[in-house]
Amino acid sequence: MSETAPIRVTVWSEFRHEKKNPKVAAIYPDGIHETIAKCLREQPDFQVRTAWLDQPEHGLGGCVLDETDVLVWWGHMAHGELSDETAAAVQRRVLEGMGFLALHSAHYSKPFKALMGTTCSVKWRESTDKERLWNIAPSHPITRGIGEYFEIPKEEMYGEPFGIPTPDELLFISWFTGGEVFRSGAVWQRGHGRVFYFRPGHETYPTYHHPQVRQVLVNGVRWLRPAVCIQDACPNSPPLEPLPEDTEASDRPVVGFK
Ligand code: ZN
């Protein structure tokens, strides 16, 4: 895959809270997905489109997934309304090589749970906690330019235990005013694709306007860019070189127990 080709990004969200809650609409008038997409479009090498839950096939039908290098996912109140077919298609594309950036409550989305294979449950509280995210992997490309830590003045609390498999690498640990801690930034390899979970993003707070959160999104998309795209196959494989004559199984010496 060409290193100079644009990174094709699809930003997906439910786009429900914005239509129901004026507080959310005031922060994200065009939807959370559009705020994130605008941020990503500032990168000249990103080619960004959006999709949301209530579109036909959730906006991910046709060639959309096949033409997506990195899928950004924000879900919260309607995980169960995503079709199993779409969830399976997202999982398949990640196994082929597509990057998947799961944001905030996407920890409970069907595609993320399928990719993790665990409960993905968290402890939570809608509150006025301050969140302090500690950058514990300063040499990782996703934390570039972030510094030792950054703070979000108000956020929903997520606390451990977080029901995920042990990450390949842990990038951020959050501390909340209420005393909890949480693995807020973590990455996994799944098949040929990469997965990045990034915690902040409760809809009633302007988290996706926060400069360091936006920097992590940009860094994350760049790091999630696919290295390959390999479709699943389970082929019967002829030998590359002539094989020695087969010996009848009955002629083989008996080894082990009589
Ligand atoms: Zn939330």
Is 48 part of any domain? yes
Cα 63 to ligand 1 centre (Å):
31
Is 124 part of any domain? no
| Domain tally, the chain | 1
| pLDDT over 90, % of the chain | 93
Cα 158 to ligand 1 centre (Å):
9
CATH code for the domain of 193: 3.40.50.880
Q: What pLDDT sits at residue 254?
A: 58
Cα 105 to ligand 1 centre (Å):
6
Per the prediction, the chain carries an average pLDDT of 95
Cα 204 to ligand 1 centre (Å):
8
What band does 248 get if pLDDT is binned at 50, 70 and 90?
low
How many angstroms separate the CA atoms of 83 and 62, rounded? Answer: 15
Q: Measure the CA dihedral 36/154/24/212, to 10°.
A: -10
Is 44 part of any domain? yes
Q: What is the pLDDT of residues 88-113, one digit of tens each?
A: 999 999 999 999 999 999 999 999 99
Cα 201 to ligand 1 centre (Å):
7
Residue 145: its H or E element: none
> Across the beta sheet with 46-52, what order do the strands follow?
46-52, 7-13, 70-74, 99-103, 193-198, 181-190, 169-176, 123-135, 149-159
Q: What is the pLDDT of residues 128-160, one digit of tens each?
A: 999 999 999 999 999 999 999 999 999 999 999
Residue 52 scores a pLDDT above 80: yes
Is 160 part of any domain? no
Indicate the DSSP class of residue 14: -
* Tokens found for residue 126: 């809608």
Enclosing domain of residue 52: 7-118+185-231
Cα 99 to ligand 1 centre (Å):
23
Is 198 part of any domain? yes
What band does 116 get if pLDDT is binned at 50, 70 and 90?
very high
Cα 7 to ligand 1 centre (Å):
28
Closest among 125, 131, 113 to 197, alpha carbons compared: 113
* Residues 130 and 164 sit within 8 Å (Cβ to Cβ): no
How many angstroms separate the CA atoms of 98 and 195, rounded? Answer: 9
* Residues 74 and 14 sit within 8 Å (Cβ to Cβ): yes
Is 111 part of any domain? yes
Q: What is the pLDDT of residues 183-218, one digit of tens each?
A: 999 999 999 999 999 999 999 999 999 999 999 999
Is 148 part of any domain? no
Q: What is the pTM of this model?
A: 0.93
Is 135 part of any domain? no
What band does 246 get if pLDDT is binned at 50, 70 and 90?
confident
**3-state secondary structure (DSSP) of residue 50:** strand
**3-state secondary structure (DSSP) of residue 133:** strand
